[in-house]
Structure 1
Amino acid sequence: MELIFFLGKTFLTFCLYVLILRLWMQKVRVNFYNPITQFIVKITQPIIGHVRRFIPSIGKVDTATWMLLYLFALLKVMFIVYFASLQSLFDSVTFLFYAFVAILHAAGHLVFWLLFFRAILSWISRGNSVADEILYQLTEPLMAPIRRFIPPIGMIDVSFAIFAIALMFLNLFANNIFGLSWMIL
């Protein structure tokens, strides 16, 4: 039973990460000829293409992808509640609310890991890989405002550490607000 729970939660979290990445890549207008970007687009296009037939975009908002993101978050919350035997704590309105919480949780963790991988790759490849390019394009809009106030000190960029500390603070804050449900998401 634990194996099914682990695999199901991991799969649904991966789906959330991929859909968040697709929306984020559209927002920051990354290089869509990058192999990593092409991978994200190709694995999401079959399902998003079908949903777009019924849910068209509204202006610049990709409503089909947003709806799929919310649906997968809702599925993740329902899956966790079912396997954790917490049905008595949740009603239908609570599921709808915690789907948004699951999206925030996944987005925060995704940002943390992207920053972590960017920092590691900056030591190893020094900007000479396709992963560096996409990580730079995704995370630089988050790092630039911090660098305006605290520029790099010599060769060391502390904006990564400041942003990571801010993310950890927000994670602890959300943990205090949502308690056990934040931890199991």
Structure 2
Amino acid sequence: MDAFRFLVEIVFDLFLIVVLLRVWMQAARADFFNPMSQFVVKMTNPLVQPMRRLLPMVGNWDIATLLLAYLVGIGKILVLSSMSAGMTPMVTDTLMMGLAVVLFQFLSLLFWLTIIMAIMSWFNRGYHPMMAILGQLTEPFLAPIRRIIPPIGGLDLSVLVLIVAIQFARILLNNLLSLGMGL
């Protein structure tokens, strides 16, 4: 049963990552013609397009895709809870846990994209489409840190500060959820 649970978690997590990337790319106004952007759009369009008829964009925010991410988080909670205990959690717990799944996945995605961007920057010289999209996605988080802590002797500490902040946010969110759920 653990192997099947693992596969279900992976499927939900991978799809949630793609949905969150779509929201994030639109909010950051990332290059639509980048191959990574095209992949994300093609993977999510079958579900996002029908939802867009009911929920239009609000500024830079794609409400339909945000709702889809939330529904995927809720779906993951419902499927995993029905697999493990055969019981579904209360509605309020499910709604809160669905939001937590989305927030945790976004923080994990931000963490890994920041790490990948930092490592690729050591080796990449010149233009690379993956490096371009990583820069467009992470720069809104790194730029405010760089204004406070500028590069020192050519060493950019903003990546380290962002990674620590992400981990702090994940621990804080986990603690808040544990208190709220009475665990």
Q: Using the alignment, how far apart are the partners of 2:72 and 2:174 within structure 1?
A: 22
Counterpart of 1:42, as a letter, is K
Q: Is the Cα contact below 8 Å between 2:57 and 2:64 reproduced in 1?
A: no
Q: Secondary structure at the match of 1:30?
A: coil
Question: Which whole-Å CA distance do the structure 2 matches of 1:69 and 1:102 have between them?
Answer: 9
Deviations 1:18-52 (A, max 9, x none): 11110111111011111111111111112211222
Preserved CA contact (<8 Å) 1:77 1:99? yes
Q: CA-to-partner distance for each residue in 1:79-108, whole Å, 9 max, x for gaps?
A: 2222332847x2112101111111111111
Q: Within the alignment, does 1:42 sit opposite 2:39 as a pair?
A: no
TM-score, length basis structure 2: 0.90
Quote the RMSD (CA, aligned, Å). 2.1
CA–CA separation in structure 2 for the residues paired with 1:131 and 1:22: 15
SS of equivalent residue, structure 1 residue 51:
helix
2:124 aligned partner, one-letter code: S
| Partner residue in 2 for 1:134 | 133
Deviation at 1:177, TM superposition (A): 2.5
- 2:97 and 2:135 map into 1 onto residues whose CA distance is 31
1:101 equivalenced with 2:100 (yes/no) = yes
Aligned partners of 2:86 and 2:107: how far apart in 1? Answer: 24
Q: Return structure 1 stretches of 4+ with deviation > 3 angstroms.
A: 179-182
Kept in 1, the 8 Å contact 2:16–2:102? The answer is yes
- The letter for the 2-side match of 1:108 is L
After superposition, what is the alpha-carbon deviation per residue over 1:111-167, rounded to whole angstroms, capped at 9, x for unaligned? 001101101110121353111000000000100000001111122111000110111
1:1-185 alignment to 2 at 5 Å? 1-53=1-53, 55-60=54-59, 61-85=61-85, 87=87, 90-179=89-178
CA contact (8 A) 1:9 1:79 kept: no
Q: Would you say how many aligned residue pairs link Structure 1 and Structure 2?
A: 180
Q: C-alpha separation between the residues in 2 aligned to 1:86 and 1:128?
A: 51
- Aligned-pair CA distance for 1:181: 11
Normalised by the length of structure 1, the TM-score is 0.89
| Matching residue's letter, 2:56 | S
Residue identity (%)? 36
Where in structure 2 are there 5+ consecutive unaligned residues?
none
SS at match of 1:33: coil
**SS of 1:169 mapped into structure 2:** helix
Which runs of 5 or more structure 1 residues have no equivalent in the other structure? none
1:56/1:64 contact within 8 Å kept? yes
Q: Deviations over 1:42-68 (max 9, x none)?
A: 111122112223x23053342221221
